[in-house]
Amino acid sequence: MLSHMTATGKKLRPEDLSRAEDELGHALPEAYKSFLLKYNGGVPLESYIDFEAEKLKLPGDEIKKFYGLNAKPANDILHKMKEIGCNLPAGLIFIANTHGGNFFLLSLREDSYGEVFYKDHELEDKSPFDPENGTLPESTAKVSRAFSDFLDALYENDE
């Protein structure tokens, strides 16, 4: 469960979130808006998460950094979306990256609103993104049903 973040972003106002939602063309889930207002990105102490990703052959991964708003381009959600968002299925946004260059994504789509997914940046996708029918691209795995569940599943690796 997320309890501590370092390197957090500049304090946001509700108007910042409204502008981001306008630019993204979708409303952000309430739990994610609360997270952005509290932290606006950063490096989590509890950075590990387990999830089932058989096709990716991994049991989970570690978050390097959560993205924020009004941040340096490399860590800004809106900049990431402009830069490489075309590589994502419509309605998904980048929320964090891993040390290996992979991403955690948040769905703003009607068929999976608020769910969190993992995307391996090295795999080529041939299958569509259709979570309603249980079909995900080869590079993608579902991590959690809600952003709050995602945060609750984070843990610190004691090794």
Q: What is the DSSP string of the chain?
A: ----EES--PPP-HHHHHHHHHHHTSPPPHHHHHHHHHTSSBEESS-EEEEEEGGGTEEEEEEEEE-BSS--GGGBHHHHHHHHGGGS-TTEEEEEEETTS-EEEEE-STTTTT-EEEE-TTSPP-S--BGGGTB--TTEEEEESSHHHHHHH-B----
CB distance 63 to 104 below 8 Å: yes
What's the pLDDT at 58?
Answer: 85
What's the pLDDT at 129?
Answer: 78
Residue scoring higher pLDDT (66 or 159):
66
Residue 3 has pLDDT above 70, yes or no: yes
Instruction: Show the domain range for 136.
Output: 5-153
Residue 117 has pLDDT above 80, yes or no: yes
Residue 148 has pLDDT above 80, yes or no: yes
What value does the mean pLDDT take over residues 122-148? Answer: 83
Q: 159 lies in a domain?
A: no
Residue 66 has pLDDT above 90, yes or no: yes
What's the pLDDT at 159?
Answer: 65
pLDDT digits 0-9 by tens, 7-65 = 999 999 999 999 999 999 999 999 999 999 999 999 999 999 999 887 788 899 999 99
pTM, two decimal places: 0.92
Q: 158 lies in a domain?
A: no
CATH no. for residue 47? Answer: 3.40.1580.10
Q: 42 lies in a domain?
A: yes
Question: What is the tally of structural domains in the chain?
Answer: 1
Edge to edge, the sheet with strand 103-107 lists 48-53, 58-66, 92-98, 103-107, 116-119, 140-144
